[in-house]
Amino acid sequence: MYLVTKWFGVFLCDEKGVKKKILFPKDEKEISKRLIEIDKNKVLSEEKKIIKNVKEQLVVNEKRLHRYGVYKPNDPFFIEFDIEPRDFGFSENLLHKAAKVVAEEKTLEELKSKDLQIIQMVNALDDLIQVSNLLSERLERWKSISASKKKIQPLENVFSMVDSSIKYFEKQIEDDMRDIAPNLTNIVGPLIGARLIAFAGGLKKLSSLPASTIQVLGAEKALFRYKKEGGKPPKHGVIFQHPYINTAPRKFRGKIARAMSSKISIAVKADVFTKRDIFKELKLVLDEKVKNIKNL
């Protein structure tokens, strides 16, 4: 007995044809829900229902169904036997509409992902820091002349609110970074890690970049100027904010930046693909490397 799932329903078949079927509702949203579940390797309720009392051995052609039958994707039956949607009253137009809903749902899910939220928080944080600096400068100038507390209080209130918002975003970024990128966070810190994600355009995109590119993320203007006008290329971008680099003598900064970007590359790949915590080993190697560079 063969278990076959199509976009319009679930079928139990043998060599002669369909023996039992459960059709999906003829609605693009309902069909899209099932297509999304399949895409996430979930077993549909219709699949569980149709095989509930089956005693014969099942053969399946999808890996997500392997626990319910023998997984044989190359079985001649699946190649030779076909089930047409029009035979059960389903049109290709309905599939097109359902596929459109699936695409929209995936886009919304992607937009909700934490790394994209982190990018927005980093951008908001930078805007707030800029506003805070402007307000601080304005307050200092205002306080340098005679001014009543009543007149200056509204500006002080705004400055305090902006300062509170900055602290909120810093804390939220730290919490989210420890959740989605613990290795990266423990190597360079949550804020530098978040800025790297922002410059790369996402955590997955960051994981695909070579260490040499990670090293100069945030120094795009300097890199463009170097390519256009010549001179010396930038040795580091946003990772310069890390104390390993910005407190080191100038002659060592390039080598330390290379060592750090190499470990960042490994850390991000672990965060995206293996989900293993490897930051302790990476940190030990990085610390030793930095120590050796400074002792040269």
Task: State the DSSP string of 220-267.
Answer: HHHHHHHHHH-SPPPS-SGGGGSHHHHTS-HHHHHHHHHHHHHHHHHH
Which secondary structure element, helix H or strand E, spans residue 14, and what is its range?
strand 9-14
Q: What is the pLDDT of residue 131?
A: 95
CB atoms within 10 A of CB 243: 8
Q: What is the pLDDT of residue 267?
A: 95
Confidence of residue 186 (pLDDT cuts 50, 70, 90): very high
When pLDDT is averaged across residues 123-141 and rounded to a whole number, the result is: 94
Which residues have CB under 8 Å from 132's CB, separation 6+?
Answer: 159, 162, 163, 166
When pLDDT is averaged across residues 275-280 and rounded to a whole number, the result is: 92
- pLDDT, tens digit, 9 for 90 and up, residues 45-104: 999 999 998 889 999 999 999 999 999 999 999 988 899 999 999 999 999 999 999 988
- Model confidence at 232: pLDDT above 60: yes
Q: Which CATH architecture has domain 182-189+202-296?
A: Orthogonal Bundle (1.10)
Q: Which of 270, 257, 264, 296 is nearest to 283 (CA)?
A: 264
Q: What is the pLDDT of residue 105?
A: 84
- pLDDT, tens digit, 9 for 90 and up, residues 194-224: 999 999 999 989 999 999 999 998 876 665 6
> How much of the chain exceeds pLDDT 70, in percent?
93
Q: What is the pLDDT of residue 110?
A: 66
Domain 113-180 class?
A: mainly alpha
Domain 2-111 class?
A: alpha beta
Structure tokens at 165: 């918002």
CA distance linking residue 271 with residue 178, whole number of Å:
10
- Model confidence at 229: pLDDT above 80: no
- C-alpha triplet 30, 27, 83: angle, nearest 5°: 90
Which secondary structure element, helix H or strand E, spans residue 142, and what is its range?
helix 114-143
The residue extents of the domains of the chain are 2-111, 113-180, 182-189+202-296
CB 135 within 8 A of CB 162: yes
Given this chain, do its domains 113-180 and 182-189+202-296 carry the same CATH topology? Answer: no
Helix and strand totals (H; E) in the chain: 14, 5
CA distance linking residue 9 with residue 6, whole number of Å:
5
Confidence of residue 227 (pLDDT cuts 50, 70, 90): low
When pLDDT is averaged across residues 274-282 and rounded to a whole number, the result is: 92
CA distance linking residue 73 with residue 130, whole number of Å:
58
When pLDDT is averaged across residues 105-134 and rounded to a whole number, the result is: 87
b/e for 75-108, b at 16 or more Cβ within 10 A?
Answer: eeebeebebebeebebeeebbebbeebbeebeee
Q: What is the pLDDT of residue 168?
A: 95
| CA 193 and chain centroid, separation | 13
